[in-house]
Amino acid sequence: MVRALLVLIFLAGLAAGGGWAHINNKVEQTLPIAQSFYTIKSGTSFSHLINDFKRNGWIDSSVEYKIYGKLNPEQTKLKAGTYQLTADMNFIALLALFNAGVEHQFKITFVEGSTFKEWLVQLAETDNIKNTLADKSAKQILALLNSEYTHPEGIFFPDTYKFTAGTSDLDILRQAHKRMVKELEQVWQERDKGLPYKSSYDVLIMASLIEKETGQVFEQPMIASVFINRLAKKMRLQTDPTIIYGLGDRYTGDITYANIREKTAYNTYQINGMPPTPIAMPGLSALKASVHPDKTSLLYFVSKGNGEHHFSKTLREHNNAVNKYIRGK
């Protein structure tokens, strides 16, 4: 009661001495904001906000701003969240931002060809993401996602995802998983006839092989053609990325002769057909290439050392290309 009376007396004094102009001048001045983001926690009061501004050195006195709030109560309804601030903002602009509740959208980008293990590391190292999966196994994560898949590789769509501060790693994975399910179903429905796939999961596996073999989108349908032609002839796929994936943490950076001869579940130099699961997260172009391969007689390809590949129809042509691009003959 006493405090309210003092406020009324102060207001009367301001009115008598042109105080309204003084308050308006204060709230319209650009604030010396020295940070990019500001977080309002749930339950934060307008009075607490003003006191925090003063502690930060953004305002020199709290009285005028609290009076402004008393006179404009509709502008004091703060919404919790993390907001991006700019150097030219005044007090009125800040209140408008906090009242609108439009939180800043952070971003995380997962690249095509990355693995589930790499995704977990990236999620854990990205600021403003709530880490909930550090002690969870892949099986437990899939259960939390209510996924029909039993292996996490390949089932998340690589893209840029926006999120607000405090979003959990699981929620981001859920977005990516739903996106992959949607994209995979679409390409499966639009697939060419006569392809050697028993289910859409085979498409996902093939797309991951294509993704790991080339970063050139224009080459992906040709890579798909080679793999499908080899499958049709009962030839082993013999794709190096499957060796690397099968080795897991044992891969040292170079594929050895012993690695090629080791029969892991993924080594397509030693197993027939495709590996049991995807070996990476394929992007949309690789998914499309797997269901719309070029119609060719190609059976081999070798890296030209410039990010592109030389394709061949016969082993003799391929050996000549290997001599040229790999052995330098």
Of 88, 51, 95, 98, the residue nearest 69 (C-alpha): 95
Tens of pLDDT, residues 128-142: 999 999 999 999 999
Quote the pLDDT of residue 11: 54
CATH 3.30.1490.480 maps onto the chain at 2-100
Quote the pLDDT of residue 327: 75
**Taking the chain (329 residues) in consecutive chunks of 10 residues, what is each chunk's mean pLDDT?**
51 56 85 90 93 91 88 92 92 93 95 98 97 96 96 98 97 98 98 96 98 96 98 97 95 93 96 97 98 97 93 95 82
Distance CA 27, CA 72 (A): 12
Token reading at 61: 């006195």
Quote the pLDDT of residue 237: 98
Half-sphere exposure of 204 (CA within 13 A, CB side): 26
Architecture of domain 2-100: 2-Layer Sandwich (3.30)
Distance CA 237, CA 67 (A): 75
Quote the pLDDT of residue 6: 45
- Quick check: 80 and 103 in contact, CB under 8 A? no
Distance CA 148, CA 140 (A): 13
Tens of pLDDT, residues 178-233: 999 999 999 999 999 999 999 999 999 999 999 999 989 999 999 999 999 999 99
Distance CA 36, CA 83 (A): 8
Quote the pLDDT of residue 23: 83
Distance CA 165, CA 172 (A): 12
